[in-house]
Chain A
Amino acid sequence: MDNQDQQAVAGAPTPALDDAPARLRLRDDAPFESPIAPLADFLAGGNFAAVRLEPGDDARALIPHFGRLKLIEVAFPKFRDGRGYSAARILREAGFSGEIRAAGDVLVDQLGFMRRVGFDSFAPNAPLDPGTVAATLDRFPHVYMKSSDGRPPVWALRHG
């Protein structure tokens, strides 16, 4: 069935591919660049200020170490794997205020959700169109539920 759908747009121009990941960062502080340790290495006691969580890693393992962490990168090997959304929100709920970066198969249509759960930087495999990014992040005037971005849910607006 998907083949039929592909044919519907055959002949349309293919967008240029850029090998270099295009970063998107929504923080005011200076970007932090240093080696990013896998979770096991980080917990083993290496002197790291940045760590990478894979989808199966438990974000709560980092809670005792927030004091020395500047950046937590959450891996999205496949955009359909939504575990990273819970990881980001758990980190924010536990009080982490450093950078949380979504890295990998990060698509523009996920940015709104990612922003809400607490991601504030993005390292997508493929570059994102700035216009589409802006439209996506600005899309919804209201939200129904609390998350980690401080936006008031509509019930708070309704009842002041």
Chain B
Amino acid sequence: MYRYDQYDQAIVDARVAEFKDQVARRLRNEITEDQFKPLRLMNGLYLQLHAYMLRVAIPYGTLSGTQMRMLAHIARKYDRDYGHFTTRQNIQYNWIKLEQFADLLDDLSKVEMHAFQTSGNCIRNISSDQFAGAAADEVADPRPYAELLRQWSTLHPEFSFLPRKFKIAVIASDTDRAAIQLHDIGLQLRRNDAGDLGFRVYVGGGMGRTPILGQVVRDWIPVGQFLSYSEAILRVYNRYGRRDNIYKARIKILVTELGIEEFTRQVEAEWALLEPLGLDAPQAEYDRIIAQFAPPAFDPAANDDLDLSDPDFRLWVEQNVHPHKAPGYAIATISLKPRAGIPGDASSAQMDVIADLAERYAQDEIRVTHSQNLVLAHVRKSDLYAVWQALEAVDLATPNLDLVTDIIACPGMDYCTLANARSIPIAQKIAAKFENDIAEQRDIGELKIKVSGCINGCGHHHAGHIGILGVDKKGEEAYQLLLGGSGAEDASLAKILGPGFDENGIVAAVDRLIAFYRSARAAPDERFLDTYRRLGPAPFKAAVYG
């Protein structure tokens, strides 16, 4: 894991001091709320329906046991004993008091954490693959490059008043676990025939009101030049992205309006001017950061066998454990989608248990996934049973990864000022139909349901195999039904199936969709998404609307 040096710590300390000063000036009325708003947003502080909401950055979704324990402490001391892990691998707290905020920031900075650029029209927290450093299919660990991006984008003087927010994701394998084609910039690390590392660069993906998949702006940029290339993309966006309409201000609209060829031409022209300026970090800095992500010393003698005689443990292993690149090790995903739970929520006590397990069994590393689950990436197979038992004891061992009850949901109208409808109760009602029968869930197979409470799409409904969008229909909550989306390497955008429903209607409609899929799939292992792609919407529509 990356550890701060004196320079990183000094910058974070100065940033905390700056924001404390800004809060004090706001409280003295020396700056207006309109002027204060972008300042607090760039420090992760939103004003929600009931209270301030704070979003704490978890760079590329990786944190240590000590940091997780601090997140538990924050929840206990400043909030209501829980936190909510988000689709961008961060955590947010819903009940923060402004007068305690300075102390909270001090606590975070003690463990090399902060809330910078988790909101606002700036470059946001960099996201990445939750299996980084453990996946057998990666060409290299993507996180050193995410860290280079983190440093490059932190307090960037030219790009802190962009037309709109800007999200970057980095992966290093053909399997996309970070939805890079739905980011403003998606970077895929690759190795060429000469053995060199470089990126394929996607630009202009995004969800929200106008969902668009990213397009390739460059098939190969050497790793040594990707920061200056990113700078060129951001400059073209900062200069020419639309500022007349908040809903057309993301880079996806600029790319669409210019066309990918013209956009690429402008980026290349800008990069030709920027590249000679020596903006890229030197190799020594790459080496310094890469060294901090060096793989742990895996024990070559680690036992590769696993005793699966306990049927409940076996279920969890089959569903939530992935192969690790080192023999004798495994990747374990901790489901934050328990029965009757709120997707992504974890209590302080649960966070403490996870911190302990990470330190004891998982090389002191925890990952957050964009599906709002957590990962222990380096667990000895011989320790998996003990880990499972400890998770089971605090309701964190639900064996439902990627199944129908592993639902993404935004906070919705229970918390959010933007929402038109509630999301959490919809996810809970759908899950309730299946959560007591894991065999049925496994028979249905991989099914990604994603629920957003408004058109902004924080619940990724456009990337759902089944997407649900809450809307306001003449003052009543209503829910649109979308099918066929994917945020993975086979990325696609879900499309509306037909007229919307009320709360109970949408739950029943999902039921009918699943029943139809089970009757229509070509083979038991054909996924819902693949059946939909094979048959098209018509039979699904007939099944739902009769």
Contacts and interface: CB of A to CB of B under 8 A. Distances in A.
Interface of A: 1-2, 4-6, 8-9, 12-15, 55, 79-83, 85-86, 89, 93, 107, 109-110, 112-114, 116-117, 129, 132, 135-136, 139-147, 153-155, 157-159
B238 A12 contact: no
Contact of A85 (B22, B151, B157, B163): B157
A15 B22 CA distance: 16
A80 B160 CA distance: 9
Interface string B116-145: 000001000000000000000000000000
Top-3 shortest CB links A-B? A82-B161, A116-B157, A12-B29
Interface stretch (B31-39, B205-213, B517-525): B31-39
A147 B243 contact: no
Nearest to A4: B47
A82 B278 contact: no
Nearest to B49: A1
A109 B288 CA distance: 33
Interface stretch (B3-11, B194-202, B398-406, B433-441): B3-11
Contact of A86 (B7, B27, B235): B235
A85 B238 contact: yes
A17 to B, nearest CB: 12
B285 A155 contact: yes
Contacts of A139: 14, 17-18
Interface in B39-55: 39, 47-49
Given A1-B417, A136-B18, A155-B151, 11 more contacts: A1-B48, A8-B27, A9-B27, A80-B161, A83-B238, A109-B31, A132-B21, A135-B21, A141-B10, A146-B277, A159-B282
Nearest to B162: A82
Interface residues of B, number: 57
Interface of B: 5, 7-8, 10-11, 14-15, 17-18, 21-22, 25-31, 33-39, 47-49, 98, 121, 151-152, 154-163, 235, 238-239, 243, 273-274, 277-279, 281-282, 284-285, 288, 417
Contacts of A132: 21, 25
Contact of A144 (B38, B152, B274): B152
B7 A157 contact: yes
Q: Identify the interface centre among A14, A79, A82, A143: most chain B CB within 10 Å of its CB.
A: A82
Contacts of A110: 161
A155 B27 contact: no
Contacts of B238: 82-83, 85-86
A153 B235 CA distance: 19
A66 to B, nearest CB: 16
Given A12-B28, A80-B38, A146 B159 contact: no
A86 B29 contact: no
Q: Identify the interface centre among B18, B152, B281, B417: most chain A CB within 10 Å of its CB.
A: B281
A145 B142 CA distance: 20
Contacts of B151: 144-145, 154-155
Contacts of A153: 281
Contacts of A4: 47
A55 B161 CA distance: 13
A155 B281 contact: yes
Nearest to B241: A83
A9 B14 contact: no
A150 to B, nearest CB: 12
Contacts of B152: 144-145
A137 to B, nearest CB: 12
A4 B158 CA distance: 32
B236 to A, nearest CB: 9
A8 B284 CA distance: 50
A17 B160 CA distance: 28
A109 B22 contact: yes
A58 to B, nearest CB: 8
Given A4-B47, A109-B39, A155-B285, A79 B25 contact: no
